[in-house]
Amino acid sequence: MYGHGNNFYPRRANFRNRANRYVKKLDPNLFIKRANESKQAEYVSTARFTMFAIEDKLKRNIEEHGYSIPTEIQEKAIPQILSGRDVIGIANTGTGKTAAFLISLINKSYLDRSQRVLIVVPTRELAIQIGDEFKIFAKGTDLEAVAVVGGVNIKRQTYLLRHNPHFVIGTPGRLKDLIMRRELNLMLFGNVVLDEVDRMVDVGFIKDIKYLISLLPSVRQSLFFSATVDIKTQDILRSFVTNPVTVSVRKQETAENIDQDVIRLTDGRSKIDVLHDLLSKSGFDKVLIFGRTKWSIQKLTNELISRGFRAAAIHGNKSQNQRQQALNRFKNSEIQVLLATDVASRGLDIEDVTHVINYDAPASYDDYIHRIGRTGRAGKKGTALTFV
């Protein structure tokens, strides 16, 4: 069923990125790679969460969540954050960085209730996911967090902000909106996290981030997390951190335990029919499909549902509640297929995704890496397939 790099000839295509600029067609050979059967030795920390200088209540919450041994970035970053240092964390999605900064800052706010934390992220889904993790680690501390994102009623968010929550987690656009309405004063936040900074730069938030930084108090603790640090992200760094410690745990670009291949169309078969046959195969239990546009993803979702598949979509035309409901159904295996634009390609931690299918090829290799990173997580084997 799958074709290999030396026996197909993809049609010429140009893909637009979010700024509507044309980018070069990617070499399909980039999408072909066998999983490495001889797994690399994973980093095993010699530390334990019980060894960190954090409150017992927090340690119990961590233990109840099933954590005992920290990941590499948690082992290296948590002591630095606890000591009050600014930190630059260079780490891929799925390395445990969210817990690294949440555990440290929850501890700080628990000990000093005047400490407030602002966390800035690129997507609504990531903001809500961080909010969910906060509830786990902050249980019983009386600390409160509010996620402020677009796509939902702003009045509810302004009401919650007036209760002065200790943690505010938001996307740049909604944060700016709340500031303009005088519902949010960034001078009150002595702790700030910029998470997935490279992604925020990719989707055009660089001016918004600089604006938010300009409103922060000069004396603060600043944490910066990104998978890569290029010229644009360095520009943000210069105005954000002071005398930082850099913690780098970036892994190889492509997970070694993901089988990658291409799907070629033969004998005049339609793309949707080939996809139908794939999804009907044994083992395609939890499939994430990526497409290029909101319109095409919704059309494909409707077609799959009409063919009897349990499917749902997340994209920019969906309300936040609709997107979250679809995500929850997928996480709970109530549906087999989740279809998405690149809004879902970073930051989401969904367990046991068996396959990622690129129904439309990604605009860049970086987008490809982040898309396929939704499978093959936590040491499990995954499969990534790309239509050409």
How far apart (Å, rounded) are the C-alpha atoms in residues 80 and 281?
48
CA nearest to 278, candidates 257, 293, 263, 268: 263
* Per-residue confidence (pLDDT) for residue 368, from 0 to 100: 86
Q: What is the pLDDT of residues 196-239, one digit of tens each?
A: 998 898 778 999 999 999 999 999 999 999 988 888 899 899 99
Q: What is the model's pTM? A: 0.68
Q: Residue 344 — very low, low, confident or very high, per pLDDT cuts 50/70/90?
A: low
Average pLDDT over residues 24-40: 65
Q: Are 254 and 333 in contact (CB under 8 A)?
A: no
Q: For the chain, which residues make up each domain, given as ranges?
A: 2-39+256-387, 49-248
Tell me the one-letter amino acid at 247.
V
- The first and second tokens of residue 166, run together, are 């200790």
* Per-residue confidence (pLDDT) for residue 350, from 0 to 100: 82
* Per-residue confidence (pLDDT) for residue 24, from 0 to 100: 47
Residue 33 DSSP symbol: B
Tell me the one-letter amino acid at 153.
N
First CA to last CA distance, the chain: 13
Average pLDDT over residues 85-92: 92
Q: What is the pLDDT of residues 156-165, one digit of tens each?
A: 999 999 999 9
Q: Which CATH superfamily is domain 49-248 in?
A: P-loop containing nucleotide triphosphate hydrolases (3.40.50.300)
How far apart (Å, rounded) are the C-alpha atoms in residues 138 and 178?
25
Domain 2-39+256-387 has CATH 3.40.30.10: no
Q: Are 89 and 228 in contact (CB under 8 A)?
A: no
Q: What is the pLDDT of residues 94-149, one digit of tens each?
A: 789 999 999 999 999 999 999 999 999 998 889 999 999 999 999 999 999 999 99
| Fold equal for 2-39+256-387 and 49-248 | yes
Average pLDDT over residues 260-287: 92
How far apart (Å, rounded) are the C-alpha atoms in residues 143 and 156?
19
How far apart (Å, rounded) are the C-alpha atoms in residues 47 and 40?
21
Residue 294 DSSP symbol: H
